[in-house]
Structures are given as C-alpha cells and as structure tokens.
Amino acid sequence: MSETVKVPELAKQTESRPIEWDWVDRRIWTDNMLAALGNGVKGNKWFSLIDKVYRLSTLRAAWERVKANRGAAGIDKQSIEAFAANAEHYLNELATALEQGSYRPQAVRRVEIDKGAGKMRPLGIPTVKDRIVQTAVKLVIEPIFENEFLEMSYGFRPGRGCKDALREVDRWLKEGFIYVVDADIKAYFDSISHELLEDRIEEYISDGRLLDILASWLKQDIVKGTERWTPVGGTPQGALCKSLHNPPYAKKPIMQSIGLKHSIFAVFGRFSLHNI
C-alpha cells in the first residue's frame, strides 16, 4: 500500500475564502444581514424571515425568475401566460395570503420523463403560484445555508456546478492524487427523510411560519392521472423545493464519515477523490 499523503482537513467555506455575495438580491439581503452571516446571529438561528418573503418586491423578483424559466402548468392548469395576464393581482393575492397565514400549496402534478434504457424519471410540477412562493423563499433563505457549505461542495449552489467540480478533480489528478471514487445515492430525492430534513433546517431557522410553509411543501399531495397520494418521504424532482430542501440536508459531507480526505460533491455527492 502506498504511503498516505497528508492533506489538510476540510474547512467551512467561510474559513477558507470569503463568499462572494454578488448573486444575492440586495433588496432582501442588506449589508447588516450579510454582516450577520459572517459574524453569526444570536443562537445561530434566524428569526422573522416571513416578512421578507411576502414583500411585493420579493414576490415580483420571484415571478420574474419563474417567468424566465417558463415551464408547464400545474394541477390548476394555469400557464405562465395566463398568470402574466394578471400578474400584479395574483402577486398581491399571494402577498396577502402569506402575510395572513392562509397560504396553502396545491397538489403537485406528477409526470414521467424518459431517462433512456427503458427507465423513467418522475417529475413533479407545482402550480405557477407555488413556484413563485418557493422562489421567494429561496431568495430569502439560500444565503443562510450557502454560508454553511464546505468549499468542496458544488451541487445546487449559485455560481457552481459539475464542470467546476471536474476542474477540481483535474487539478488534484495533476497533483498526484490517483484514485477516483464515483458514487451515486440511488433514488436520493425520493428517499430524503422529512423528519431529518426539518431538524436540519430548524438548526438555522426559527421563524415558525416559514418552517410551516417549508413543511407544507414536503407534504404536498401528488396527483398522477386519477391517483392522488400524500408522500411520507422525499422531495418532488422538478419542483424548486428540491433544490431548496437539498442544501441543508446535504451540507454535512458523507464522504468524510468514511475516511476520505478529499471529496467533491457535484450534483448530489457524485464525485469524490482521494490519495491512498
């Protein structure tokens, strides 16, 4: 067996290099809030976030992103074009519902897409209104979890992706690291534990109304043809809440727990690399 090369322990992103916050919506995240991310908040938990979600300026910003992504209609059959025809009215309705606590997500429409080789992938399509609220929540809470990621994490992060992970793999190979382990978690999004995920989120967020909304997305009914059921685990692939719920769940690098010194997480823990 070759001699193990000593490498530094993985550090949190904030301990390795400053985070660039140019991607955050500065109408939501003020200088004081960003400073609090760096300095830490009392009890390491964030309170009073729901008011930032239901602001019309946040919902308008979320709508612009949803409109740009286009996408199909949900269970209510309301298309992007239909929403756009009376967008300001619908956004005001959403703002009122969120402020008053009466917002309830509708069921997710389930379709199947061809993965090739005779395999199908389930895809969840929320309504346009639910996609807007999900985007608004993402705009508000994403920096909180982004601040906690390790430097080696590349999946579901702003300004990062699989190609960045591959460039890092290439750099390590050139440095003499010779073993690559390619691992994939089967049915990852289908098997996420709701209880564990909610516990992880509650480590950082204490706004009860916002936590209730996040929990309601996990428990959205799924409709496929004439079938309708309530999921007991997992998050719907295709819905924004997939990428919204994944970061707090995947923040702790699994590969560290089995002794790998260097690891890279691309889409969902896909790439890891170490030297034996």
How many Cβ atoms are within 10 Å of 222's Cβ, its own excluded? Answer: 18
Confidence of residue 184 (pLDDT cuts 50, 70, 90): confident
Question: How does DSSP assign 142-187, residue by residue?
Answer: HHHHHTT-BTTB-TT-TT--HHHHHHHHHHHHHTT--EEEE---TT
Q: Read off the pTM.
A: 0.80
Q: What is the pLDDT of residues 121-139, one digit of tens each?
A: 888 999 999 999 999 999 9
- Report pLDDT for 254: 41
**Contact status, residue 130 vs residue 105, Cβ threshold 8 Å:** yes
- Report pLDDT for 163: 87
- Report pLDDT for 182: 76
Distance between CA atoms of residues 147 and 127, nearest Å: 30
Does pLDDT of 160 surpass 90? no
Q: What is the pLDDT of residues 225-243, one digit of tens each?
A: 999 999 998 887 666 554 5
